[in-house]
Amino acid sequence: MLATIKHEKLNCWIQEVAELCQPDSIYWCDGTKKEYDSMMSLMIESGMAIPLSKRANSFLFRSDTSDVARVEDQTYISTLTQDEAGPTNNWIDPAELKKIMTDLYTGCMKGRTLYVIPFSMGPIGSPISKIGIELTDSPYVVCNMHIMTRVGTKVLEVLGTDGEYIPCVHSIGAPLAEGQKDASWPCAPIEKKYISHFPQENLIWSFGSGYGGNALLGKKCLALRIASAMAKREGWMAEHMLILRLTNPEGRRFHIAAAFPSACGKTNLAMLKPMIEGWKCECIGDDIAWMKIGTDGRLYAINPEAGFFGVAPGTSYDSNPSAMDSLNKNCIFTNCALTDDGDIWWEGFDGETPAHAIDWKGNDWTPESKSSAAHPNARFTAPASQCPVICPDWEDPNGVPIDIFVFGGRRASVVPLVNEAYDWNHGVFLGSTAASETTAANIGEVGNLRRDPFAMKPFCGYNMGEYFQHWLDMGNKLGEKAPRMFYVNWFRKSPDGKWLWPGFGDNVRVLKWMCERVEGKIDAIETPIGLLPKKENLDLNGLNISNDDIEELLRIDTEAWRAELSDIEKYFQQFGSHLPQPLYAQLENLRNRFK
């Protein structure tokens, strides 16, 4: 525990929050292993944490059934006017929202400790990094923040006596009366969960949820919603993107940043195991990229996180061996199943299905059970440093230069395997119109198609039309040094419902084509939607795929695209005068190319 530091603004703010929330005590986190272990001991004693005998220093948690994913319907961007938040965000007037939240916060930490978590998003001291201070009453949050961010005294040293920080307040919303037994997963009822952002103040207030991005405020709340608004004001980019380094057999490095909606393959691509001999992939980040223009005019990216908060179901040695090898120790698992021999399990896990397990709700489970053993959005929290393919430069404070942007989503039809944008503005059009079938990572109907521009729909901290303009502006600043832009769809199916592309490690074949396009080694085919590969330029050596399937993967269905044009036009209309004119021009160009 640290004594309070000589940062008057910080100390005053903490005191104000403490007076409002009324915790029994205040604890300053120092980021040490001793602190982490003591927090886990507290949670083991309370029954919240279950030690896993098969994995060193690893623990399983089971959340309340109402607290299993981001609560997008109760996530708010609270700007002075609704117009500033835009049509894709939930909005409440700041004064009204603060009144709601203040009422909820009053006495909400009674019987609990207020933990002060000083954390750095990005390497401590990097010119691209930002400092946050999260106040929380959840030791589970403290331990996850230890893994996901850089926590501790070094952060406070950089902050000094008057440094800038992003204030983040979080409460599970479950005060304890004297002598009251705590819940195994304390949280507020669903109707009292609020995830509130005040971008004009760089302020985050979260109440009622202890799960994931609702509670780990450095993640989506700071690193995307607040950071995106900061980035627009300050002239940089905060994006929902993985970052990887791909090295070809000649030793040339390519840095790729790719945007996919949650549970659509970001982590798998970030830790790609190339199925082409001589190509090497190294992971820099699996979820978020912060990017600034360097002194040489190129765009440089850092991963602001220090860990992986990945979707567990479907992760296996077949789909992502590097992720699996990252999970052998020092991990937190949430809403996975518990096997009889003290290990975790989830649907899609390697090996035989256990004959018996305890499911994510704490009930007996067998393969005959009607419900799944792990929640579809079960998660692992793992240190990035444990990843066997982590890039040696993943913590370079200056970042890595981005060569390629990739956008994508989960589409069973219409969208081909890959196409390249004609230019930057066309690439922004591709990113702005990205669509994906929804997944279990967000509460709502699974399988519906929704537009998810740049995979940022749930995460943009201001009017999305202005966000599109910011992308156009960044392209103007970068000029000829701008990264090339591509769109991919690993999830296309045949008319009879069969997956057409093997995905996973074979996705390197598509990335190789992109790299060779950047190098100017190969031509492409001009189509109405962009530049597509010539079949002979896709490296399919060793891949058992029929010519018919390749034809279907690259086929442009004219009638389906004409229907898509109408849908895009309708989608654009919601942005009104905020939609940049160049995007309307791109839509008209696309329409004309289909005439």
* pLDDT given for residue 264 in this prediction: 77
Q: 358, 386, 414: which is the final residue of a domain?
A: 386
415 & 524 share domain: yes
253 & 125 share domain: no
pLDDT at 441 exceeding the cut of 90: no
Q: Tell me: the pLDDT tens digits for 10-23?
A: 999 999 999 999 99
Split at pLDDT 50, 70, 90, the class of 446 is: low
Domains: count for the chain:
3
324 & 411 share domain: no
Split at pLDDT 50, 70, 90, the class of 443 is: very low
Angle, helix 581-593 to helix 424-432, in steps of 10 degrees: 90
Q: What share of the chain is helix, strand, coil (3-state, %, to 5)?
A: 30, 25, 45
Over range 79-102, report the average pLDDT: 98
The closest of 385, 186, 202, 410 to 305, measured between CA atoms, is 385
Weakest mean pLDDT among 86-95, 324-333, 407-416: 407-416
Tokens found for residue 413: 């039809």
User: CATH number of the domain that 254 lies in?
Assistant: 3.90.228.20
476 & 513 share domain: yes
415 & 548 share domain: yes
Compute and round to an integer the Cα radius of gyration of the chain: 24
CA distances from 269 to 79, 147, 294, 326, 408 (A): 35, 21, 26, 15, 12
Q: Tell me: the pLDDT tens digits for 547-565?
A: 999 999 999 999 999 989 9
- In a domain, residue 45? The reply is no
- In a domain, residue 68? The reply is no
Split at pLDDT 50, 70, 90, the class of 439 is: low
Tokens found for residue 334: 């949430």
- In a domain, residue 457? The reply is yes
Weakest mean pLDDT among 144-158, 186-200, 440-454: 440-454
Over range 270-284, report the average pLDDT: 96
Whole-angstrom distance, CA of residue 574 vs CA of residue 561: 21
Residue 528, Cβ neighbours under 10 Å: how many?
17
* pLDDT given for residue 265 in this prediction: 83
Split at pLDDT 50, 70, 90, the class of 440 is: low
* pLDDT given for residue 2 in this prediction: 54
Q: Tell me: the pLDDT tens digits for 476-486?
A: 999 999 999 99
Split at pLDDT 50, 70, 90, the class of 383 is: very high
Over range 340-363, report the average pLDDT: 98
- In a domain, residue 165? The reply is yes
- In a domain, residue 37? The reply is no
- In a domain, residue 1? The reply is no
* pLDDT given for residue 450 in this prediction: 84
pLDDT at 449 exceeding the cut of 90: no
* pLDDT given for residue 261 in this prediction: 81
Tokens found for residue 417: 């395997």
Q: Tell me: the pLDDT tens digits for 217-247?
A: 999 999 999 999 999 999 999 999 999 999 9
Q: How many degrees, rounded to 5, is the angle at CA 444 between CA 441 and CA 450?
A: 85
452 & 398 share domain: yes
φ, ψ of residue 387 in degrees (nearest 5): -70, 125
Whole-angstrom distance, CA of residue 540 vs CA of residue 546: 10
Whole-angstrom distance, CA of residue 181 vs CA of residue 92: 35
- In a domain, residue 587? The reply is yes
- Report the chain's mean pLDDT, rounded to a whole number: 95
* pLDDT given for residue 595 in this prediction: 87
User: CATH number of the domain that 21 lies in?
Assistant: 3.40.449.10
462 & 567 share domain: yes
SS3 25: strand
The closest of 505, 490, 502, 503 to 273, measured between CA atoms, is 505
* pLDDT given for residue 528 in this prediction: 98
The closest of 54, 77, 32, 580 to 337, measured between CA atoms, is 54
578 & 546 share domain: yes
* pLDDT given for residue 337 in this prediction: 98
Q: Tell me: the pLDDT tens digits for 35-46?
A: 999 999 999 999
78 & 126 share domain: yes
- In a domain, residue 334? The reply is yes
Q: Which domain holds residue 110?
A: 8-30+74-234
Split at pLDDT 50, 70, 90, the class of 331 is: very high
Whole-angstrom distance, CA of residue 142 vs CA of residue 419: 43
User: CATH number of the domain that 324 lies in?
Assistant: 2.170.8.10
289 & 313 share domain: no
Tokens found for residue 93: 């007037």
Q: 173, 202, 234: which is the final residue of a domain?
A: 234
Q: 337, 361, 386: which is the final residue of a domain?
A: 386
Q: Which amino acid is at 581?
A: Q
Residues paired with residue 257 on neighbouring β-strands, in sequence order: 243, 405
pLDDT at 447 exceeding the cut of 80: no
228 & 242 share domain: no
Tokens found for residue 197: 């952002």
Residues annotated as catalytic are: 264
405 & 484 share domain: yes
Share of the chain above pLDDT 70, in %: 97
Weakest mean pLDDT among 63-67, 446-450, 451-455, 551-555: 446-450
Weakest mean pLDDT among 65-74, 168-177, 218-227, 444-453: 444-453
Task: Mention every residue, 6+ apart, whose C-beta is less than 8 A from residue 232.
Answer: 462, 466, 467, 470
